[in-house]
């Protein structure tokens, strides 16, 4: 797949597939280290690559227009990666989508653009995209989708109120949200989050 690093067995032979998007300034190689920590060798990991290491230029709470056309291009690339996995014969129930920081926010945007019964969603330190006052209408396609949503309580990039709004919007869509807010946690993925994500991945593999 262009603009992605892929590791693990072929998609059709894997227990499940996870598509992951890195954060601002990051790379697929960062996500490869995350995949190593997740320690699921039977998974196929598709690790997306942003042009110039950034999915969109401004904060995810900025006016949408200020992040265009980059945001739409990033979402289109994400959706294309999903279509490639499905075309390989992998059912939605064995596909997990997720990311960290800006990549987690991009994943949130994807859910509202392409709601579906994914095997799971992992949003490490992220929230739904849009300026203050944005209303995200419920997406019935997300009913019963397991979502792991995490953040620190004083994160420099992801405001806690937006994480709460994200959880509420996902729950209103029928998703099964597991929210974890970590006091004093810096802008990184903690060991506890890795443990929770492993359980979500295992659930997708067993579907």
Close Cβ partners of 107 (under 8 Å, ≥ 6 residues apart): 21, 78, 97, 98, 99, 121, 122, 123, 126
Q: What pLDDT does residue 3 have?
A: 82
Contact 197, 122 (CB under 8 A): yes
**pLDDT computed for residue 1 by the predictor:** 52
For range 192-198, the mean pLDDT: 98
pLDDT tens-digit series, residues 150-184: 999 999 999 999 999 999 999 999 999 999 999 99
Distance CA 98, CA 58 (A): 20
The tens digit of pLDDT for each residue in 178-190 reads 999 999 999 999 9
**Per residue in 43-92, pLDDT tens?**
999 999 999 999 999 999 999 999 999 999 999 999 999 999 999 999 99
Task: Summarize the confidence of residues 23-49 as an average pLDDT.
Answer: 97
Quickly state the pLDDT bin for 2 (edges 50, 70, 90). Answer: low
When pLDDT is averaged across residues 11-17 and rounded to a whole number, the result is 96
Residues sharing a CB contact under 8 Å with residue 36, sequence separation 6 or more, in sequence order: none
Q: What is the pLDDT of residue 190?
A: 97
- Topology (CATH) of 4-205: Rossmann fold (3.40.50)
Query: How distant is the alpha carbon of residue 174 from its chain centre?
Result: 18
Rounded Cα distance, 46 and 44, in Å: 7
Q: Where are the domains of the chain?
A: 4-205
Q: Is the dihedral of CA 28, 108, 71, 140 positive or negative?
A: positive
Q: What token pair was written down for 153?
A: 């309580």
């Amino acid at each position: 797949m262009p603009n992605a690093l892929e590791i693990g067995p072929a998609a059709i032979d894997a227990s499940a597939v996870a598509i992951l998007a890195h954060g601002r300034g990051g790379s697929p190689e960062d996500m490869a280290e995350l995949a190593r920590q997740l320690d699921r060798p039977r998974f196929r990991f598709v690790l997306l690559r942003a042009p110039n290491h950034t999915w969109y230029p401004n904060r995810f709470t900025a006016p949408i227009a200020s992040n265009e056309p980059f945001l739409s291009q990033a979402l289109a690339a994400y959706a294309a990666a999903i279509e490639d996995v499905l075309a390989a014969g992998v059912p939605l129930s064995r596909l997990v989508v997720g990311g960290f920081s800006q990549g987690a926010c991009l994943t949130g945007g994807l859910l509202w653009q392409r709601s579906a019964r994914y095997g799971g969603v992992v949003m490490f330190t992220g929230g739904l995209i849009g300026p203050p006052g944005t209303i995200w209408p419920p997406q019935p396609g997300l009913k019963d989708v397991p979502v792991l949503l995490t953040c620190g309580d004083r994160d420099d990039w992801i405001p806690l109120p937006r994480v709460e709004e994200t959880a509420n919007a996902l729950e209103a869509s029928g998703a099964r949200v597991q929210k974890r807010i970590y006091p004093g946690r810096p802008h990184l993925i903690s060991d506890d989050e890795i443990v929770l994500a492993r359980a979500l991945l295992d659930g997708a593999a067993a579907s």
